Amino acid sequence: MNSPLSICLVQSAAHHHADEGALDAFEADVRRTTRAHPGARLLVYPELHLCGHRPDEEAGTVMTAAAEPLDGPRGTRLAGLARDTGVWLVPGSVYERGDDGRIYNTAPVYSPEGERVASYRKVFPWLPYETTAPGSEFVVFDMDGYGRVGLSICYDAWFPEVTRHLAWQGADLVLNLVRTPTVDRAQELVLARANAIVNQVAMASVNAAQPDGVGRSIVVDPEGRVRAEAGSATQQIVTDVLDLGEARRVRTHGTAGLTRVWDPFTVGQAGIELPLYGGRIDSARWRQGLPSEAR
């Protein structure tokens, strides 16, 4: 049985200076949010919330100044904050300086015990505006007693391969950390529902508020129904309580009790070639996206 998961999507403006002052302000905000929502188990912030970002000639300077290894001073303080407040903390993505010297747009996750349990590097930077190095792995993590959660960052949601792989890896919920100040947020809302429907997975897309984003953070269930949506631009906290077992129920019994998108193949059916990827769909491997009891 899954415990109900109380979440807070914190739709707010970014901190534009990656320094101790920004971390002080962030820590105060996390503590304020947990006091206001004492039952919350998962706090999620928008893309680059602690680092700021400018899609112009200053972007490289901001990025370089803010980049740190994940186990640097910023990471140590974030881990301590999660431990002190006793919550699962996704502080938005940060600029990570990798061991290879490249800078990545990376989403870390901290457990209530103060451990970094996962980190995801954005696979699809928004070219040509973003110059971070692309990641190369899809990442899920387990929240004991609740379910499995996948990570994506902003533009990743436009590529169906990302959410499909996270769902195939067993994600019950996908967190999409967003920093969209442009009119295509309207399309992102459609994508949040579409990704939920075609993968039978819950989606939570948290966007920044003005002046960094146009808001409209959203929570969608595994059948594509909108559970909660924030208003445009303003700073808001979107709260919800999710049963992550819903994704497995929908995959087993079908959307509306009808459509089982993870079980479209007959036993022993030949594979399907995928020329775009230089690969193929293997029917037995595809079925791994089903809960084990439904295979």
Between CA 240 and CA 156 the distance in angstroms is 23
Q: Which of 96, 130, 154, 188 is catalytic?
A: 154
Instruction: Name the β-bridge partners of 121.
Output: 106
Structural contact between residues 91 and 106, judged by C-beta atoms closer than 8 angstroms: no
Instruction: Work out whether the CA dihedral 262, 263, 267, 273 comes out positive or negative.
Output: negative
pLDDT of residue 55: 54
47 in catalytic set: yes
Q: How far apart are CA 216 and CA 206, in angstroms?
A: 8
Report the run of H or E that residue 149 belongs to, with start and end. strand 147-153
State the architecture of 5-262 in CATH terms. 4-Layer Sandwich (3.60)
Q: Give CA–CA dist 226/211, Å, rounded.
A: 25
Quick one: angle between helices 185-199 and 160-168, nearest 10? Answer: 30
pLDDT computed for residue 268 by the predictor: 84
The pLDDT assigned to 136 comes to 97
Length of the chain: 295
Read off φ and ψ for residue 52, nearest 5 degrees. Answer: 70, 160
Q: Which of 234, 222, 206 has the alpha carbon at shortest distance from 171?
A: 222
pLDDT score for 60: 65
- Residue position matching structure tokens 């950390």: 177
The whole-number mean pLDDT for each consecutive block of 10 residues of the chain, a chain of 295 residues, reads: 93 75 92 97 97 61 89 97 98 97 97 98 94 97 97 98 97 97 97 98 97 96 98 92 97 96 89 94 88 75
Smallest CA-to-CA distance from 82 within 109, 120, 102, 104 is with: 109
Q: Concatenate the DSSP letters of all residues of 69-100 into one string.
A: -TTSHHHHHHHHHHHHHTSEEE---EEEE-TT
Q: Which amino acid is at 137?
A: E
**Can you give the pLDDT at residue 51?**
87
277 contacts: CB under 8 Å, gap ≥ 6: none
The widest CA-to-CA distance across the chain, in whole angstroms, is 60
Q: What's the pLDDT at 166?
A: 98
Q: Where are the domains of the chain?
A: 5-262, 263-295
Q: Of 8, 47, 51, 96, which residue is the catalytic one?
A: 47
Phi, psi of 55 (to 5 degrees): -80, 60
Of the residues 8, 96, 122, 188, only one is catalytic, namely 122
Looking at residue 275, its pLDDT comes to: 96
pTM: 0.95
Convert the pLDDT of each residue in 84-115 to its tens digit: 999 999 999 999 999 999 999 999 999 999 99
pLDDT of residue 18: 58
